[in-house]
Chain A
Amino acid sequence: MNISELMRLDIAKRADASFKKVKEVQAILNASITFIEDDGVRRDGKLAGIPVALKDNISTKGIRTTAASNILDDYIPIYDATIVKKLADAGAVFVSKSSMDELAMGGTNRTANIGPCLNPYDPKRITGGSSGGSAALVACGAVPLAIGSDTGDSVRKPASYCGVVGVKPSYGRISRYGIIPYASSLDHVGYFTTNVADAALALEVLAGRDDLDMTSSSIPVPQYSKLLNADIEGKRILIFDNVLKAIKDDDILSAFEKLIAGLKSKGAIIETVHFRDDLMKCLFPTYFIIANAEATANHSNLDGIRFGHRIDGDSMEEVMINTRTRGFSSFIKKRFVIGSYSLFEENQDRLLRKAQKVRRLICDEVLNKLKTADVLIAPASGSIAPLIDSPSTDELNDEYLVVENHMVIGNFAGLPSMTLPLGQKEGMPFGVNITCNAFDETGMFTIGKAIEEISGLKDLTKEVL
């Protein structure tokens, strides 16, 4: 399913199938937390009548928003996120609040309080996370566009596992106002589509300065969809050598090689770049410290006093303690403890401030190389989607540290980055990731379009019914 196909239908009918399908696939995928009922309102605009799913950390006025956490189980926002207004103004019709890892703190979508979200290509496998519900709903053809958020690779990894296009534009390109945060300096709004043209169109609607988000950019928003072409003649493409060297899967490697050959034959200039190994090994710890330090403060508002699921106590302090103890899962509490620990005055120099310095070094390393190039390219993951009950990964082995964390560079430096389908193995999709210079979304879509033409993997969906 894609946007241009739906546009051929009568505006009143464009969302009909979606309203039905998000409910029908629920038993198989568990991809929605709240279904949104059709109010019958249809508005004109770039997305007139187009059904859209919203990750459940996006504030929707009057519609329950839980971020997949028990602590917000009965939270009904009093305001709309800026992107919700923008999408509605463009005529989008909301059909689902989609599943996610609790408070977007995870990469598997196994930690949602409603249980894991399942992969349409194989419900025994994960979707990846944290925006797994949105990825699954696009992948199964329930919606042509679903919004997610991306703090480490929370849009781009599930896009790889679910065989869809996943976009995270530059930091500041899309307003974050109304997105329940994970880590403010790393959080981006991202989204899923089934093709690059839809991705370009969606960004036209979502992007732009918002006075409610001081980190949003005033750079004018180009007409991405009109500028879209696949001409990559003379484009300089950097192959991310550290990632390639660490990948063990031959199918992924050979698909990647074929893609590079295709890009070369379209006139691109290919170069291989190797970043400092010590810095690449720091990607995960650096991310983990910064993200969790910010997260522990960001979620201090969840105290049961003003909203959310309150658990009573004899004093105000007890109310807070009870609410937070019962409201968060152990995964979240673990991250809060780590975040808090790195914020202690006696630890900050050694942990948070050091992590911030390392983040700067990593950014400099990558930005220096990108200065004279257009794009950095690598497989989005070293494998297809893992099985749900597979034992948790050793997060500190060399392969994991580089291969499964390289996309966080886009978050560290705020660079536009997207994942596109690259191939399939055992019936499961896997993707390729491209990362470009800040605010060069136009260039990113051009290269994305070329990749789409070479791979032929466009408008993929997997019927689950």
Chain B
Amino acid sequence: MKYDVVVGIEIHAELNTHTKMFSGAPYHFKAEANTCTNEVDLAHPGVLPCVNREAVKKAVELCTALNLKIDPLIKFDRKNYYYSDLPKGYQITQQFHPIGKDGHVTVDDEGTKQTIRINRIHMEEDTAKQFHLYDETLIDFNRAGVPLVEIVSEPDITSGKEAALYVEKLRQTLTYLDVSDARMEEGSMRCDINISLKEKGSDVFGTKVEIKNLNSIANIKEAIEYEIERQTKALESGEKIAQETRRFDEKTMTTVSMRKKEGSVDYKYFPEPNIFPILLSAEDIREITEAMPELPDVKEARYKDEFKLSDYDAGQLIQNKDLALYYDEMMKSGKYPKTCCNLLLSELQGLLAKRNESIAETEVRPNMLAKLAALLEEKVISSKQGKEVLNLMLDGSDPEEIVKEKGLRQVSDTSIIEKIVEEVLTDNPESIHDYKNGKDRALGYLVGQVMKRSKGQANPQMASDLLKDKLAKL
């Protein structure tokens, strides 16, 4: 390609605190319209903002995880503009003193590590949601005042794929830290792309285009790839790129112009007088960061080091935070990391997929699944019985109880199996004959007979070994 691609990404993530950024009103995404608001969110005359301690804590965690320098002096500013979704007529944000500056993340593009710098993270509040009908507009103020962090990358991203990896990395970090639900489809994570092309190797940046309305990571990749193609074509045919905001259209998988940008808006920022600066002590910050949950990279390395899991298995587990946490829970009591991992990733996940259930919803407790792993590893039950037991565990039952109740216990007592083996050999002289004549199938038949007489409870490996032993002596 003739051009270098320059992409910067701004991400807004809603913090999943119990209450709003500056008010005590609760917030639930699925709540009925205008039920999660109070006088502060509605900006009734005389109200004052009160900083949500939990939100600050979560922002500190996020900055730490993304390697930003934390400004211990928390300050807020007013961003002034009139809009019907902005009750106060200004948004409280951190224009002059963002909580974090100069961080970075590393993404893994099929083995190539790529570092993407983060310019800043700041805290602010969300606006209300508007529904434009034919001749009226409805406003739901539930979202007004919900805590947000804005994560602004440096323009270090050079492709749609890299952008997708970057956003996925941030999504994973946000969810592992439990600072945000980070659901693009629900708008708790929103992504704006800035993209321009420049002559290969040139220092002169091209005209920047902003892309909005991206509701999935896949769409981010698509939108950037489309935009690269569109801008390349335009440049090659000598057209000028307009400075504009475009939106991604999911139906056509293209970007469509929304509005041209003319000059910048003066938001008349000034320090919020109702919130005195809050100084976090070094101890406050240490307390927060020490209590932080384990991050995915660290977890993945630990799975490989401590549990000797393969790259693939470890990768699969950390892909989904709920799975990883489930696995961690299993390994608190479990002794067999590989079997635990297999049971979780293939067996349980498979069953849940059929039932349209998620790992977070299942009744199967991690310690119970770990018990099942032990029953299998310790040859108390066969793997076939294991599947049966897992099916019965879906209502939350204890696998040991199931084994007892159903009499599924695998017989591993040599004397019992030996007795059955002798009976089977006595009753099947022709099979002995066949075996001696080199028909290996006969052994399988005889093992089957032993299993049948033991009502499936004999340990098949032991049965086979004993049979071979006896047959050799005959």
Contacts and interface: CB of A to CB of B under 8 A. Distances in A.
Interface of A: 57-59, 65, 67, 72, 75, 77-79, 81, 176-181, 183-185, 211-215, 293-294, 296-297, 299-303, 305-307, 316-317, 320, 340, 343-345, 348, 352
Contact of B48 (A213, A294, A348): A213
Contacts of A317: 82
Given A306-B87, A345-B266, A77 B44 contact: yes
Nearest to B272: A184
Contacts of B46: 57-59, 77, 81, 177-181
Interface stretch (B273-281, B295-303, B354-362, B379-387): B273-281
Nearest to A343: B268
B42 A306 contact: yes
A348 B267 CA distance: 12
A399 B270 CA distance: 32
25 contacts: A59-B45, A77-B44, A77-B46, A78-B44, A79-B39, A79-B47, A177-B46, A180-B45, A180-B46, A211-B50, A214-B274, A215-B275, A215-B276, A300-B80, A300-B88, A300-B90, A301-B44, A301-B45, A302-B45, A307-B44, A320-B82, A320-B84, A345-B266, A345-B268, A348-B268
Given A301-B45, A306-B42, A344-B268, A214 B82 contact: no
Q: How large is the interface on B (under 10, 10 to 19, 20 to 34, 35 or more residues)?
A: 20 to 34
Contacts of B275: 214-215
Nearest to B276: A215
A297 B43 contact: no
A212 B270 contact: no
A214 B273 contact: no
Nearest to B39: A79
B97 to A, nearest CB: 15
A34 to B, nearest CB: 15
A320 B273 CA distance: 25
Nearest to B37: A306
Interface in B14-43: 38-39, 42-43
A214 B276 contact: yes
Contacts of B49: 214
A219 to B, nearest CB: 14
Given A67-B45, A343-B80, 20 more contacts: A59-B44, A77-B46, A78-B39, A176-B48, A180-B46, A212-B50, A213-B274, A215-B274, A293-B270, A296-B80, A297-B270, A299-B89, A300-B82, A300-B89, A303-B82, A305-B139, A316-B84, A344-B266, A345-B266, A348-B270
B425 interface: no
B292 interface: no
Contacts of B43: 301, 306
Given A72-B45, A213-B48, A184 B89 contact: no
Contacts of B112: none
B51 interface: yes
B80 A75 contact: no
Say what secondary structure dominates the interface of chain B.
loop
Nearest to A307: B44
Contacts of A305: 84, 87, 139
B48 A177 contact: yes
A300 B83 CA distance: 10
B437 interface: no
Interface string B122-160: 000000000000000101000000000000000000000
A181 B84 CA distance: 21
A201 B36 CA distance: 39
Contact of A297 (B45, B78, B266): B78
Contacts of B50: 211-214
Nearest to A300: B89
A212 B268 CA distance: 26
Q: Of B49, B84, B88, which is in contact with the most chain A CB atoms at under 10 Å from its CB? A: B84
A345 B266 CA distance: 7
Nearest to B136: A316
Contacts of B268: 297, 340, 343-345, 348
Q: Of B39, B78, B87, B274, which is in contact with the most chain A CB atoms at under 10 Å from its CB? A: B274
Interface in B268-324: 268, 270, 273-276
B144 to A, nearest CB: 10
Contacts of A215: 48, 274-276
B270 A184 contact: no
Contacts of A299: 89
Closest 7 CB pairs of A and B: A300-B89, A343-B268, A185-B273, A184-B273, A301-B43, A180-B45, A178-B46
Contacts of A296: 80
A412 to B, nearest CB: 13
Contacts of A320: 82, 84
A365 to B, nearest CB: 22
A317 B89 CA distance: 12
Nearest to A186: B273
Interface in B75-134: 78, 80, 82, 84, 87-90
A294 B273 contact: yes
A211 B48 CA distance: 10
Contacts of B82: 300, 303, 317, 320
Contacts of A307: 42, 44-45
Interface in B254-276: 266, 268, 270, 273-276
Contacts of A181: 46
Nearest to B275: A214
Contacts of A352: 270
A320 B47 CA distance: 20
Nearest to B88: A301
A197 to B, nearest CB: 30
Nearest to B40: A212
Nearest to B90: A297
A58 B45 CA distance: 9
A180 B38 CA distance: 16
B17 to A, nearest CB: 16
Q: Of B45, B51, B80, B87, which is in contact with the most chain A CB atoms at under 10 Å from its CB? A: B45
A127 B405 CA distance: 91
B25 to A, nearest CB: 12
Contacts of A300: 80, 82, 88-90
Contacts of A211: 50
B84 A184 contact: no
B88 A343 contact: no
Contact of B47 (A67, A177, A303, A344): A177
B89 A297 contact: yes
Contacts of B51: 214
A178 B45 CA distance: 7
A346 B139 CA distance: 34
Nearest to B78: A297
Contacts of A67: 45
Contacts of B89: 297, 299-301, 303
B96 to A, nearest CB: 11
A65 B45 contact: yes
